[in-house]
Structure 1
Amino acid sequence: MPGQRPDETGPVGERRVRRPAVPPPTRQRPATPPPPVQHRTEQIDLSAGFPPVRHETSQIDLSGGLPGGLPIPPRRPRQGRRLGIDVGSVRVGVAISDPTGTLASPLETVRRARDESDLDHIAALVVEHEVTEVIVGEPRHLSGASGASAKEARAYSRALAGRIGPVPVHLVDERLSTVTAASSLRANGLDSRQQRPVIDQAAAVVILQAYLDAQRERS
């Protein structure tokens, strides 16, 4: 028909809808990469081998406290049961502490044996009660000098230490431990005859309790 544009009419006289043209996609410019970071390096001459390594330490005096006036925290006593040993020529008294290492109690009396089976038995007690330390009394004279009994106690402690591995064995001064034990048993109504089966355990209790008290005072 005259006056009409071909693109505005369709077949059978329908009007075409004119759609806007879709613009072509725009290309985005790639982002500019950051400049490379340069790390300064130095050339080391290793033709003569590596330079010697020096380990230098300095001693710090903490007698007046930690730097900045901070106090040194007190050392906490080690947790775990302790075993006390009173070494005699015929019998060995054994005492044990509670798990907190506060109170000593009698455990048993072990008879000495030539085949050293008494040492094996005490080593088994260490394992059974999960003992963390063994305390052996070292009998001394009132003057502080060592005699044959002290020598025997030291030899016994060395032999026991060889059987219990990493569990430490400590020797402590036990002057008058047997006298103190006998006085305590007598105060509880036991005469000398009744004391005989338990006097070694009681002496071991005195040795162990003195050690526990000293450790608690230090902490």
Structure 2
Amino acid sequence: MQDIDLYDLPELLDSNHRLLGLDPGSKTIGMAVSDRDYKVASPIGTILRSKFKADAAKLKEICEERNIGALVMGLPVNMDGTEGPRCQSVRTLAENLHKIAGFTIPIVFWDERLSTSAVERFLIGEADMTRKRRSEVVDKAAAAYILQGALDALQRRSDR
């Protein structure tokens, strides 16, 4: 699978497509969707991970229902910029979505360093959520944080 640059996405998408942001973890996959103007990311849910084929089928269904033109996957890069085993796991997931599950839409990676901790700090400090409630929303909120970062980068590029 060839890496696609985030900044090449607008040329690959139709005007009615949306982006699906993913925060893939070992137990869940947080999801967020963009608006059609690629300005706002909204959390939409979490997939509790099971077998790959079942997870891929759920993702494919969501992509079809929401007219998704590309996936933006959070890439958990180490603080020093290197890629460790968690990055390899995300890259393998993306590769398997193409090779095994037959996904044909582009998949781009977005550096998600500190996304989950930033979301948790917000949920604790600003939203004053209980631990139980935070655990219910943190993955999809992290996906929205990741996708919003990518959308903001696209917007900055188009404003030049």
Q: TM-score range by the shorter chain?
A: 0.7 to 0.9
CA distance in 2, matches of 1:213, 1:191: 29
CA separation in 1, counterparts of 2:9 and 2:97? 26
Q: Which residue of 2 aligns with 1:174?
A: 112
Matched, 1:97 2:34: yes
Partner of 1:188: 127
Q: Which amino acid aligns with 1:118?
A: D
Q: Write out per-residue CA displacement over residues 129-176 of structure 1, whole angstroms, 9 at most, x where no aligned residue.
A: 111111001101110111111111111111223435431110111100
Counterpart in 2 of 1:84? 21
When the two structures are aligned, how many residues end up with a matched partner?
145
Partner of 1:199: 138
- 1:62-211 aligned at under 5 Å gives the runs 77=10, 78=13, 79=15, 80-162=17-99, 163=101, 165-186=103-124, 187-211=126-150
Structure 1, residues 158-207: CA drift from partner, whole Å, max 9, x if none? 12234354311101111001011112222112132210011100110111
Q: Secondary structure at the match of 2:151?
A: helix
Q: Counterpart amino acid of 2:18?
A: R
The structure, 1 or 2, with the larger RCO (C-alpha pairs under 8 Å, 6+ apart) is 2
More strand by share: 2
1:207-218 equivalence runs, <5 A: 207-218=146-157
- Decide which moves more: 124-133 or 180-189: 180-189
Q: TM-score, normalised by structure 1?
A: 0.62
RMSD over equivalenced CA pairs, Å: 1.8
Task: Name the one with the larger helix percent.
Answer: 2
Larger radius of gyration: 1
Distance in 1 between residues matched to 2:138 and 2:40, nearest whole Å: 18
